Amino acid sequence: MASVFTKIIQGELPSYKIHEDDLTFSFLALDQVNLGHVLVIPKQEVNHWFDTPVDAFTRVQLNSQKIAKAIKAATDCPRVGVMVAGFEVPHYHVHLIPAWSIPDLDFKKARRFPDAEMKAIQEKIISLLKHS
């Protein structure tokens, strides 16, 4: 059975897409730890990060780096935290979370933002990503 992320990649579920290429897909997390929280995933459904084919794993990491720079500029945060936990969805995903302090990385803070705020940060990150 396809993961929720595979359904997002295939367009069966909506998302606030940030970036897509032949191996990866990036989008705003539905539950934002902080506004600007992005997930970067391989298109291939792989449960554990260490089982991801090298080319897809490398592309996830390279795209995470580029997107994190855009998140930092879009949110004016001093750091973009990176987390790979894998408990929520059995599909390898990297969390990129804008942060001002360690407590800003607490997943218990995750919440849904209004559609207008999600679209605004999505557009800002995409714009900055295009100019990098």
Q: What is the pLDDT of residue 88?
A: 86
How many domains, in total, are found in the chain? 1
State the pTM of this model: 0.96
Query: Which range marks the domain in which residue 19 is found?
Result: 4-125
Q: Is residue 131 part of a domain?
A: no
Q: Residue 26's pLDDT band (boundaries 50, 70, 90)?
A: very high
Give me the pLDDT at residue 131, please. Answer: 83
CA pair distance 108, 104, nearest whole angstrom: 10
Q: Looking at residue 87, which CATH number applies to its domain?
A: 3.30.428.10
Q: Which residue has the tokens 């449960």?
A: 47
Question: Would you say the C-alpha torsion 34, 38, 41, 45 has a positive or negative sign?
Answer: positive
DSSP states of 34-85 = STT-EEEEESS--SSGGGS-HHHHHHHHHHHHHHHHHHHHHHT-SEEEEE--
Give the CB-side neighbour count of residue 19, counting CA atoms within 13 A: 27
Question: 32 by DSSP, 3-state: which?
Answer: strand
Segment 87-104 shows an average pLDDT of: 95
Report residue 2's pLDDT band, with 50, 70 and 90 as the boundaries.
confident
Q: Is the pLDDT of residue 132 over 80?
A: no
User: Which whole number is the average pLDDT over 79-84?
Assistant: 97
Q: How many CA atoms lie within 13 A of 22 on its CB side?
A: 1
| Amino acid code (one letter) for 128 | L
Mean pLDDT of 95-109: 96
pLDDT at 1: 74
